[in-house]
Structures are given as structure tokens and as C-alpha cells.
Structure 1
Amino acid sequence: MALGKSSPQITLSSTLQRAGLVPIGNGIYLRREIPPSKSFSDATIYTKSSNPLLREPNIILVFGWMGAKLPHIFKYTKVYEDMYPNATQIIVQSEPHFFWSSKRTRMNNLVPVAEVLEAHGCTRQESPRDGNSPRILVHSFSNGGGLQMYTLGNLLRARSGSSSSSRRPSPHVSAVVIDSCPGNASFRGAIQAFTAALPKNSLLRIPVIIFITLLYGFGIIRHRVFGVKPIFERLKEGLLRKGSEGGILPWMTEKTPRMYICSKKDELIPVEQVEEHVKEARHRGLNAKIVVYEDTPHVAHARRYPEQYWGAYKMIYIVEMRCKDRTKQKCNQELASLLRRLV
């Protein structure tokens, strides 16, 4: 008897089982704490440090780019698994329908993420007395991942009622990696983003382009007639948020390190838009760094230059943790020196 092809459900289940992930929502997966495993043996840049002062992250949030398949996202989470084997990972996919869903639908979809973070104490107003507070690393890809992160921040504030400093979660040790983001919502960029996964000669591209054209036009009408800001403008404002309500995520402060990664060859998110955003972030007093590659496509920097990509993140994280007892000028000089060596 001939064996039939495996169903998508069986394939997904086996993929998740191999990765040690549990689905907890629509496009949301959890990897719980596990005993330490072997780190990369051929690259010291990945090696898990034994220095407790570096306070490695114990919670890692990964927001995938729009339409990213789990095997592609796993290439990043596997590195984190080897660097921080005891950390809890939360993976959030970003599907095209997210962009035209209602605000309520987008927030409801992320409730499982909020529940996990709340269970780990990420939204507490006071730090635990034993000093074992969450240490949170966030890695977001493209505008799709950025919008999921922005929505999660709004959801956490709504659930905790953090409309004032008295209700704001206690600041935690945290860092944010923002890959290929943010960018303006140009019509050409929208078409490229929504058709990227389709074959160039596919007839499916025609109805997709028509739908995006209508959706884009509707967004322009909402903005000009009703004053509703485009969703990507709201994302950029969220990334620049500071004050009593925290950053884009409520536990962030102005000092939280934000590492932006972009490329001069990115056709979806022009490098000038990211550089302009980082300049504004610094002007507002945010701790923003930027790494610019010369020849990498959209969200493909780690694939082409893995040691530089992960090395820049790892070194910046280490230096930021040391900066607590050093002058800002000395820290910036050391960071600049590291980036010149790694990129």
C-alpha cells in the first residue's frame, strides 16, 4: 500500500515537538525552562557566560516578520536556546490578516502572551524582595513583528490599568533587538510585503494586489477624513514612547538598550527611514544603537553574517550590563569600538 503525504497538522506537531514548543494561542508558541544544554562549541561568541553579574535574560520574546514560517523563526530561537538554555521563550507569528483585523481582535489574540508574562511577574508594580526579577529580551522583525510588539504593549497596559506611574510595572533588566524596522507604509512596500511569499508568475498575485490597493486606499481615507493615523505611524510613535507608562512595552525605560539592525540593500524598509527613526529616538533621550549592513536583504542579516549579527547583540548586551557603574561616555566609546570590529 502506498504511503500518503503527511497532513500539515502532523507535520506542524512533529516540528513543534522537536523544537520543544507548546502552542498556547493562534500563532503563539511557548518553550518552557529546561535543564542547561550544550552551547555551540565552535564559536566563543555564543558561549553562555558564567559571570552572574551579566544577568542573562530568563524570558525571551520573539516576534516574527509577516508571513514568516516557523522553521525560519526557529533559526533565531535555536541560537537563543543555545545561548540561554534556561530561558523561557515565547514566539509570536505575524500573519497578513493581522493588518486588517480590528484592534480588539489583535489584542485578544495576544492574551496568551500577556498571561505568561503576568505569571512570570513581568507586570508587577514592585520588584520581588529576593531580587529574582524578570530579565527580558525582545527580538522583533520587520513592521509585522513590530506591530505585534506594539499591540502587546497596549494590551499589557489595558490589563494592568497602568495609565499612571503608580500603576506602571517595575522596570526590569531588559533589551530590545529591532531588525529591519520601522519603515513607512508606502504602497509599493505594502505590495512587496504581502506578495513576497507568492511565486512571481502566480495568478494569486492579482487578487492580492487588488485587495491591498483597496485596503491602502481605505487607510488614506481614514487618515485624511477621520484623522486616524496609519498603523505604521502608530508603531513608530510606540517605539519612541517614554515616561510614566514605560516604553513600547511597559517595563521599558529610557535606559533600556534598543538595538536597531538594517541594511542599505533592504528593498522593503529603506535604511534612511531606520536611521531617521534612531536619530529621533536619541534626540528624545532613548538608549538607541544602530547596526547598518551594506548588502543584506530584508531580515536576512543573520543568515549572511551570523557571527557579526549575533556578536554585535551579545557584546552590546554585555557592555550595557556593565554600564551601570560606568560613565555614559566611556560606555558609548566601548560600544562604538565593538561595532567597528563586528560589522
Structure 2
Amino acid sequence: MMATLLVVTFIIGFVIIRLLSKTNGQKNDDNNNQQQQNDCDSQLKFIHLDYLPTRNFSLCPYELNGGKKKSKSIVIIFAWLFAQDRHLNKYRKLYLELGYNVLTIRTGLIQLLFPPFGTQQIMAQLIQFMRMNQDQYDTYISHAFSVGVYVMGECLVLLNGQSNQDVRNIFQQRMKGVIIDSAVDVNEGPIGLAKATTSNTLLQIVIIVLIRLYYIINYPLATRHYLESSKQIHINPIDCPSLAFISKDDPMVNYDDHIKTFEKHRNNGLIAMIKSWDQSPHVAHYVKYPDEYRSTLIKFLDQIMSNDDDDVLIN
């Protein structure tokens, strides 16, 4: 019975991967020329660390990108699915201008579908990075987008382990704030994955059905990990100030859940800010409302660095 379930699971997973990879590949072909042009126009400088795979990690140091001295502050960006550099660079440049190093974490589709062999391994590598660089950085900020919020939650799960208590202490002492943008929770995940890869309604329906079936069949290997990650995000175990960027018309985001969760954090004495719009695309709030996005982010960063507890911002 178990062998049959595993076979069915891998077949469904393979079909999902093929569907999403094919549709996303078509998008990449359409955008390839524009991306190459953007890369030529503005090239950021990165360094590669031997113990971090380049397909998942890229480190953009402040001092190599216009900074006059080394920065001891770092932002960890948990990218959305299929995120491209020409889009991520908008956020990297913003944080570089503010004096931060930027570590970007990408997660592939197959790594999302099989957490024990994917996202959890990537988060174990992030924990190792923090352990090896504990003397280099004294301030951490997390900025997670869409399914990247789930990936960040996996890190929180791993930090509950006894072997990672040293890094958990680093998190609690040095993680100054968490920013989430268009967070997709486990229940909205199928819709988010479908809409992120194709505008074809029929294909979206097929993808959603397959992923929900995958949730049911593959509960031990995947779904229970999604749920545990979601739990960690909701309870905020490190008691960290947080900021959310959301849109009321985003079908991939549970707007009411955001409001309730942030109210709970606020009642627990934490800084919890929400910036919302009536209409704004998924993971594109900064593109559509650059001035509002930037000013809200800077206000949040200023507030958490000064420990000035202000009223929650809900627009």
C-alpha cells in the first residue's frame, strides 16, 4: 500500500512539475531578451560561498555595490516561485541603498513539492550560514514573498530542534524584523502556483486539482510540513516585529487571516504593521506603488531599529 502511494505521489508530482515548468519556460522565453538588456543596464556584484549552492543562494555585499565600508546588517530575501533577477534587483538595490548586505534565497518547484529533500535542506544551509557568520552580522531582516513565506517558516521549524538552539538564539537576538509580501498560505498555495505560471484558465484548474490531490496523497511527505510551517508563521515564535504588504483583490492571499494574525501579534505587544491596497498585483506592489512601498518599508525599519512602538498601520 505504501509503495503504491509513493508511486502515485511521484507521478502526480512529475505531472505538476512538467505543467508548471512548461508554462513558465514559455514565459521565460518571452522575457529573455528584456532580461538580458536589464542585466546589461545594471549589474549588481555578488560573491559565492562554497557551502551554499548557487542555484538557491546569492549574496550581494554592500561594500561591493557602492558601500564605503563593510555592513554588519543583512537582509534575507525569500524569493517567490520563478523569480527573475530583473525583478529581484529592485528590492536588492533598495536594501543596498539603505546599507544592507542582501542574501537572496530561491526555491525550485521540486524542492517545494518535496520539503524533506528540498526546502528543509535549503533552510539547513541557511542555518549553517548564520552559524558560520555569527561574528560578521549583528542585524538580520527577513523579506519573504509569496511561497517564500512558507520557506521562511521551514527555517523556524528547524530552529526548534535541539541541535540548532545556538542559531535560534541568534535569531531571537538579532532578527530585528520580518517583512512579508503577498504571503501565500497552504490553503491558497494551489491557486498561487497555478496563477504564477499560466494565464490559461483550463491549465490553472488542472494544476489546482492536481496539487490538492497531491496534498491528500502526500500528507506525510509534504502537506504536514506545509501546515507546520504555516503554524510557525502565525505564532511568530521569535517574537519579532513584522510588516505585511497585501492587496484586497489578490486571490492567492487570505486578507482576513492577515488582519487577525497581525492583531494577535499586536495584542501580544509586538510591532505589527500592515500596508494594504484595494487593487494591486501579486508580488508587484513595489512596482505599482513604489513611493508608498518604499516609505512604508523605511518607516518600519526606522521604527524597529529605534524600538518605538507605534500604532499598527492598516491602509
Q: Offset of 1:259 from its aligned partner?
A: 0.7
Number of the residue aligned with 2:169: 168
Correspondence for 2:250 among 253, 266, 269: 266
Instruction: Answer whether contact 2:58 2:104 (CA < 8 A) is retained.
Output: yes
Instruction: Answer whether contact 1:90 1:113 (CA < 8 A) is retained.
Output: no
What do the CA deviations read for 1:143-187 (whole angstroms, capped 9, x no partner)?
x10121122233455484429x9x73361251111112253514x
Letter in 2 for 1:154: V
1:31 corresponds to 2:32: no
Instruction: Answer whether contact 2:45 2:64 (CA < 8 A) is retained.
Output: no
Task: Summarize the alignment of residues 205-216 of structure 1 with structure 2, pairs less than 5 Å apart.
Answer: 208-209=207-208, 211-216=210-215
Number of the residue aligned with 1:21: 46
Could you state the TM-score of these two structures normalised by the residue count of structure 2? Answer: 0.72
Q: Offset of 1:291 from its aligned partner?
A: 1.4
Correspondence for 1:180 among 170, 182, 185: 182
TM-aligned CA distance change 1:261 to 1:74, over 3 Å: same
Q: Offset of 1:139 from its aligned partner?
A: 0.4
Letter in 2 for 1:153: L
Task: Summarize the alignment of residues 183-262 of structure 1 with structure 2, pairs less than 5 Å apart.
Answer: 183-186=185-188, 190-200=190-200, 208-209=207-208, 211-218=210-217, 222=219, 230-241=224-235, 247=237, 252=238, 254=239, 256-262=240-246
Instruction: Answer whether contact 1:62 1:139 (CA < 8 A) is retained.
Output: yes
Instruction: Answer whether contact 1:30 1:88 (CA < 8 A) is retained.
Output: yes
What do the CA deviations read for 1:207-227 (whole angstroms, capped 9, x no partner)?
6455324313325xx4xxx8x
Letter in 1 for 2:121: N
What do the CA deviations read for 1:94-135 (whole angstroms, capped 9, x no partner)?
3322332142542223344233222221xxxxxx7xxx8611
Aligned residues between the structures: 273
Q: CA RMSD in A?
A: 3.7
1:295 corresponds to 2:272: no
TM-aligned CA distance change 1:270 to 1:208, over 3 Å: closer
Number of the residue aligned with 1:148: 151
**Secondary structure of 1:65 counterpart:** coil
Instruction: Answer whether contact 1:264 1:292 (CA < 8 A) is retained.
Output: yes
Letter in 1 for 2:81: M
Instruction: Answer whether contact 1:258 1:289 (CA < 8 A) is retained.
Output: yes
Tell me which protein shows more helix as a share of its residues: 2
What do the CA deviations read for 1:75-110 (whole angstroms, capped 9, x no partner)?
2112112222xx322101133223321425422233
1:135 corresponds to 2:139: yes
What do the CA deviations read for 1:13-52 (whole angstroms, capped 9, x no partner)?
x95993212453132211234256289xxxxxxxxxxxxx
Correspondence for 1:332 among 298, 304, 310: 310
Correspondence for 2:297 among 313, 331, 335: 313
Output the CA distance in 2 between the equivalents of 1:77 and 1:198. 26
**Secondary structure of 2:165 counterpart:** coil
Letter in 1 for 2:310: N
Output the CA distance in 2 between the equivalents of 1:293 and 1:210. 29
Output the CA distance in 2 between the equivalents of 1:185 and 1:22. 37
Letter in 1 for 2:247: S
Unpaired runs of at least 5, structure 2: 1-28
Output the CA distance in 1 between the equivalents of 2:97 and 2:249. 30
Unpaired runs of at least 5, structure 1: 40-55, 122-127, 325-330
Instruction: Answer whether contact 2:112 2:118 (CA < 8 A) is retained.
Output: no
Letter in 1 for 2:181: D
1:96 corresponds to 2:109: yes
**Secondary structure of 1:259 counterpart:** strand
Instruction: Answer whether contact 2:143 2:179 (CA < 8 A) is retained.
Output: yes
**Secondary structure of 1:261 counterpart:** strand
Instruction: Answer whether contact 1:183 1:274 (CA < 8 A) is retained.
Output: no
Letter in 2 for 1:180: S
What do the CA deviations read for 1:261-292 (whole angstroms, capped 9, x no partner)?
21111111132121122123334444322112
**Secondary structure of 2:197 counterpart:** coil
Instruction: Answer whether contact 1:96 1:194 (CA < 8 A) is retained.
Output: no
